Amino acid sequence: MSGQAPFRGEAPDADAIEAIARATIARLPAQFAQHLGDIVFAVEDFADDETLAALGLEHPLDLSGLYHGRPLGEKSSMDSGAMPDRIVLYRRAILEEWIDTGVRIDDLVAHVTIHEIGHHFGLSDDDMHALEDDVEDPAA
């Protein structure tokens, strides 16, 4: 899944990043997709200072995505009334990585999206890579 980015000229805006992420989610295997209905999905330019401090990060470009919530295997009936789980993609960090690596923007956004979804399921990094391999790129 590598090659030149499909975007020329201007960097993709938040709506374009979100569209790529949602297309990635639509290609997930059914056993994963059926458990994502209540997750709030957002694209922001940068993580805020509070988020960075909580993660021990100094620079907002060091964080391309974040899952806020409890993995499915840790949820209980006591969680009712809790805020919904949330996945945030950080556009500027993703764009910096896109520029630095030359990876196609849609591949990079898919990678970050699947990684954050993996946290929702409590998956290991190896499991996340396997899930990413299962998500077929329709352009390939």
Q: What is the pLDDT of residue 26?
A: 86
Structure tokens at 132: 């990413």
Q: Which residue has the higher pLDDT, 119 or 43?
A: 43
Residue ranges and CATH numbers for the domains of the chain are 14-71+81-134 (3.30.2010.20)
Q: For 70-88, give the DSSP string.
A: --GGG--GGGTTSPPPEEE
pLDDT at 2: 41
Specify the pTM. Answer: 0.77
90-118 per-position pLDDT tens digit: 999 999 999 999 889 999 999 999 888 88
Higher pLDDT, 20 or 130: 20
Q: CA 80, CA 78: separation in Å to the nearest integer?
A: 6
